[in-house]
Structure 1
Amino acid sequence: MHTKQKLTATQLQIYNYIVANKRKVKDITLRELAGILSVSPASVVRTLKALGYKHYYDLQNEIKEELNRNKVVDDITYQAQYYFSQDFLTDYDQKIADFKKIASKTKDFIFFGIGSSGDLCEYGARQFVNNGRNAFAIGDPYYPVELSRDLFHGKTVIVLSVSGEGQPTIDQVKNFRQLGATIVSITNNEDNTIAHLSDLNFAYHLEFKIIGQTINLTTQVPVVYLLERLSRALNTTGQ
């Protein structure tokens, strides 16, 4: 898709849905898309124009070409190829610069996530330690953060959450904020509760892969990439 410009909240909602559901969008009408999102067709049209498309079918044709071009043997490879081909990767440069400013004022880093995100927190913390910073991971959704005698001023919490809407994670993020921590989050998109609670958010915009009600198979390749970029940025903090 074209590079994302400054979008309104409604336009951002439409953009995020299109990015996460390209296979569906290529086969449905503009009115059907508007109905799914509970917005007017005019709102969809305005969003497309903000993204640089003259017509809805221009977007659909581009999606079809992209899907055909990126056909691969397995889905994980497709998702990784799609992620690393996106224009928004260049948007990370400014956010990495913002992260360096946060890191320069951070005494300790705390990684927080649940499930597979919690496993990646362990990896992220180790990468930060390897790059000379004090870091540890919390994977317990009911860890008594609010009982800590050591307030969290001067600490940065890096939160990993695919959806950004898990209630236990949201509750913990609120606890960390109330205790003075700076919040950096990595989520699938930037329009979710955890992203809105964060001082800095990195989003990766991939199609959700959900089995049943709880099993999330959305690839974590972008999360590993971002954790490594952030850890490498520690070596250039303040430059």
Structure 2
Amino acid sequence: MAFFGFKDFDRLSEVDLNIYRFFTANVDKVPYLRVRDIAREAHVSNSSVMRFIHKLGYDSFPEFKVSFRAEQQQAHPTNHQINFVTDQNFPTDIYEKIELVADRMQQADQVIFCAMGSSGALAEYAARQAAAVGFNAICVKDPFYPLVNQLKNTSDNLLIALSVSGKTIELLELLNNFINNEDVTLVAITAEPSSQVALMSRYVLGYSVPQQRIAKYYDLTTQVPALYLTEQLISTARRLAVQAGDHLI
């Protein structure tokens, strides 16, 4: 019972052969069509399509579609890999940079993860993870959050900005308040190491990834490399803190 291996063409009528030719010409489309869609596009009746399916040895159309899709994948295997993060995503000195930022994080009185849009969800996760292991960490996703006032009488703050493009206007305006502030050290985690966010920062944890946007405003770029960097940063800072005798979790 197979479509691609079918050889008994003598059993097929001219109508059956038309349906067969339609299937072979639309291999990628067939698994997503209904019987009436196939009938309409192949210029045959619904019952003709079902008779053809039964001649192939299938009891139902759903059974045929599942088998067709499986055969298609075996005949044309894809080259998908589960390598979400590889060395190619990062500069060669990335771990040295992580150590530098982690050392600064271990010494900071407060760590602020700051981001807008889809990066904001990652900033929130990073702040939660950092707080979970004992760091005084918060997340700022609101461009109008009064961070300047909150940090006015504080010192030794580490502000980590996450931005794929490094061009988010609201984030740039927020960071601009701290460029010349000696009590705030700016760090950028970005896919654009030459972007304005990176240029404003003392340390840059850069990565490379194809950027994807739809309808101009919706960023579909993967956050996996940035997630990897934040987790490496937090785990490294925790290790340094433990080595220094700090009582973290």
Equivalent residues in 2 for 1:86-165, closer than 5 Å = 86=88, 88=90, 90-148=92-150, 150-165=152-167
Q: CA deviation at 1:89?
A: 5.3
Q: How far apart, in 2, do the equivalents of 1:189 and 1:158 lie?
A: 15
Deviation at 1:148, TM superposition (A): 3.3
The 5 A counterparts of 1:1-239 are 71-72=79-80, 77=82, 80=84, 83-86=85-88, 88=90, 90-148=92-150, 150-179=152-181, 180-237=183-240
Contact 1:108/1:154, CA 8 A, preserved across alignment: yes
The amino acid that maps onto 1:155 is: N
How many angstroms apart in 2 are the aligned matches of 1:169 and 1:121? 13
Alpha-carbon distance, 1:105 to partner: 2.6
**Structure (1 or 2) with the greater helix fraction:** 1
Deviation at 1:85, TM superposition (A): 4.0
Q: How many angstroms apart in 2 are the aligned matches of 1:90 and 1:223?
A: 16
Kindly state the Cα deviation for residue 152 of structure 1 after the two structures are TM-superposed.
Answer: 4.7
Tell me, yes or no, if the aligned pair for 1:100 and 1:236 is still in contact at 8 Å: no
Gaps of 5+ in 1: 1-69
> Aligned partners of 1:104 and 1:209: how far apart in 2?
34
Task: Mark the CA change 1:164 to 1:218 in structure 2 (over 3 Å): closer, same or farther.
Answer: same
Instruction: Normalising by structure 2, report the TM-score.
Output: 0.60
Tell whether the 8 Å contact from 1:152 to 1:176 is kept in structure 2 after alignment: no
Q: Which moved more, 1:84-93 or 1:166-175?
A: 84-93
In structure 1, what is the Cα distance between the partners aligned to 2:96 and 2:195?
21
TM-score, reference length from structure 1: 0.63
Deviation string for 1:54-87 (max 9, x for gaps)? Answer: xxxxxxxxxxxxxxxx9317xxx57x2xx41417
SS at match of 1:109: strand
Q: 1:90 to 1:130 in 2, by over 3 A?
A: farther
Can you list the C-alpha shifts for 1:152-209, whole angstroms capped at 9, x where unaligned?
5301011111100111100111113344310111101201000011111111111110
In 2: Cα distance, 1:105 partner to 1:230 partner: 13
**Residues 218 and 123 from structure 1, CA distance in 2 versus in 1: closer, same or farther, beyond 3 angstroms?**
same
Structure 1 segments (4+ residues) deviating >6 Å: none
Instruction: Calculate percent identity across the aligned residue pairs.
Output: 32
The structure number with the bigger radius of gyration is 2
Q: Secondary structure at the match of 1:184?
A: strand
Closer/same/farther in 2, CA of residues 149 and 166 from structure 1, 3 Å limit: closer
SS in 2 for 1:237: helix
Q: How many pairs are equivalent?
A: 164
How far does the alpha carbon of each residue in 1:124-154 deviate from its partner, in whole angstroms, 9 at most, with x for none? 0111112211101011011122333634530
Distance in 2 between residues matched to 1:233 and 1:106, nearest whole Å: 14
**Amino acid paired to 1:232:** S
Q: CA RMSD in A?
A: 2.2
- What's the CA shift string for 1:15-45, capped at 9, x where partnerless? xxxxxxxxxxxxxxxxxxxxxxxxxxxxxxx
Task: Check conservation: 1:186, 1:201, Cα contact below 8 A.
Answer: yes
Secondary structure of 2:176's aligned partner: helix
Q: What are the ranges of 5 or more consecutive residues in structure 2 without an aligned counterpart?
A: 1-77, 244-249
**Alpha-carbon spacing, 1:170–1:147, altered in 2? closer, same or farther (3 Å):** same
